């Protein structure tokens, strides 16, 4: 069996909610060493992201795929392999089954990559999306304090009050350090 880290993209590895639309996404400084360390420790890196901007026509699917391709190439240049990117392009009103925090895409990945759920993690900055996704897919979770992380723990805490993250980390690198340390 394999183990994986499911990474949220925006607010966790870089950028913020509008950076793909504005075409100015940058990785956070800690994201590259975090992904490298995850790779060194035999975690598959999987990105899982809600992109309702596509449904709202703020970004075409083609523009999104172009941006994504550039990001992946930048990571490959640093020796980082992204196993797969799972995207929900829908709006909330579409009532799809792939939008975080629903576990459909994670469950697909578990089957496709023969993942051991006990050894895999979901890392993100959103309590109501990423942490509830971990809860809904029976996986360990790490909330990072970048992006909306602080807001998730304060103003938005009531939206995911039924669970606690396995760990809370300063940023993506601190998150991987905690995974390696506590394993
Ligand atoms: Mg996020
Ligand atoms: Zn969807």
What is the structure's pLDDT at 21?
74
Question: What is the value of pTM for the model shown?
Answer: 0.95
CATH assignment of the domain containing 138 = 3.40.50.1000
pLDDT digits (tens, 9 = 90+) for 64-94: 999 999 999 999 999 999 999 999 999 999 9
How far, in Å, is the centroid of ligand 1 from the Cα of 79?
Answer: 24
List the structure tokens of 161. 């009050």
How far, in Å, is the centroid of ligand 1 from the Cα of 1?
Answer: 28
Query: Is 88 known as a binding-site position?
Result: yes
Residue 181 DSSP label: H
What is the structure's pLDDT at 183?
65
What is the structure's pLDDT at 159?
98
How far, in Å, is the centroid of ligand 2 from the Cα of 48?
Answer: 11
Respond yes or no on whether the N-terminal peptide bond of residue 101 is cis (omega within 30° of 0): yes
Tell me, rounded to whole angstroms, the distance of Cα 110 from its chain centroid.
15
Cα–Cα distances in angstroms (integers) from residue 53 to residues 21, 59, 64, 142, in the given order? 8, 6, 10, 25
CA pair distance 87, 141, nearest whole angstrom: 19
pLDDT in tens, the chain (183 residues): 999 999 999 999 998 877 777 778 899 999 999 999 999 999 999 999 999 999 998 889 999 999 999 999 999 999 999 999 999 999 999 999 999 999 999 999 999 999 999 999 999 999 999 999 999 999 999 999 999 999 999 999 999 999 999 999 999 999 999 999 876
How far, in Å, is the centroid of ligand 2 from the Cα of 158?
Answer: 24
Max Cα distance, the chain (Å):
43
How far, in Å, is the centroid of ligand 2 from the Cα of 95?
Answer: 8
What is the structure's pLDDT at 13?
97
How far, in Å, is the centroid of ligand 2 from the Cα of 113?
Answer: 21
pLDDT digits (tens, 9 = 90+) for 123-132: 999 999 999 9
Considering every ligand atom shown, identify the ligand nearest to the alpha carbon of residue 95 and give its number: 2
**Which 3 state secondary structure label does DSSP give 10?**
strand
Query: Is 8 known as a binding-site position?
Result: yes
What is the structure's pLDDT at 182?
79
Number of domains in the chain: 1
Could you list the residue range(s) of the whole structural domain that residue 10 is in? 3-182
Query: Is 29 known as a binding-site position?
Result: no
Tell me, rounded to whole angstroms, the distance of Cα 123 from its chain centroid.
6
How far, in Å, is the centroid of ligand 2 from the Cα of 96?
Answer: 5
**Residues lying with their CB under 5 A of ligand 1, a single-atom ion:** 8, 10-11, 125-126
Q: Give the number of residues written for the chain.
A: 183
């Amino acid at each position: 069996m394999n183990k994986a880290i499911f990474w949220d993209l925006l607010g966790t590895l870089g950028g913020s909610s509008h950076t793909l639309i504005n075409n100015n996404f940058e990785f956070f400084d800690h994201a590259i060493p975090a992904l490298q360390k995850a790779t060194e420790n035999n975690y598959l890196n999987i990105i899982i992201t809600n992109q309702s901007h596509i449904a709202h026509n703020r970004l075409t699917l083609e523009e999104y795929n172009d941006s994504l391709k550039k990001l992946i190439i930048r990571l490959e240049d640093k020796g980082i392999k992204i196993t797969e990117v799972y995207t929900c392009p829908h709006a909330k009103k579409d009532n799809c089954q792939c939008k975080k925090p629903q576990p459909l895409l994670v469950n697909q990945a578990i089957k496709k990559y023969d993942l051991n759920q006990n050894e895999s993690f979901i890392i993100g900055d959103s309590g109501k999306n990423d942490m509830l996704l971990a809860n809904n897919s029976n996986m360990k979770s790490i909330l990072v304090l970048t992006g909306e992380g602080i807001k998730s723990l304060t103003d938005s805490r009531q939206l995911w009050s039924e669970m606690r993250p396995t760990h809370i980390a300063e940023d993506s690198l601190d998150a991987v350090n905690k995974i390696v340390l506590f394993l």
